Amino acid sequence: MNVGDLVRFVEQDWEQPGIGYVEDWTGIIVDKVVDDDGTIEELHILWKHGKVSDYPSSWWNRLTYFPFEVISESR
């Protein structure tokens, strides 16, 4: 995942009870914070979901799975 990539939530994420609302969210990665060993610590994603919002996605790295998938890579 790189800055400029278009992403969405993986089906495993939006199929969970209570968070199905993210099924149609599409976002673009606008910033990526990486630690010293190259692990992605935080992704800032500009989401479009009826409105556009910057949602710092730093919570995802505590999950047992990766909740985003790239649907179009930056060029």
pLDDT tier, 71 (very low <50, low <70, confident <90, very high otherwise): very high
- Note the pLDDT of residue 54: 63
Q: How many CA atoms, within 13 angstroms, populate the side-chain half-sphere of residue 13? A: 16
pLDDT tier, 47 (very low <50, low <70, confident <90, very high otherwise): confident
Helices (H), 1-75: 11-14
Q: Scanning the structure block, which residue is given the tokens 């278009």?
A: 6
- Global pTM exceeds 0.85: no
- Note the pLDDT of residue 22: 85
Strand-pair partners of 34: 40
Beta-carbon contacts of 58 under 8 Å, excluding residues fewer than 6 positions away, are 41, 42, 43
Helices (H), 7-63: 11-14
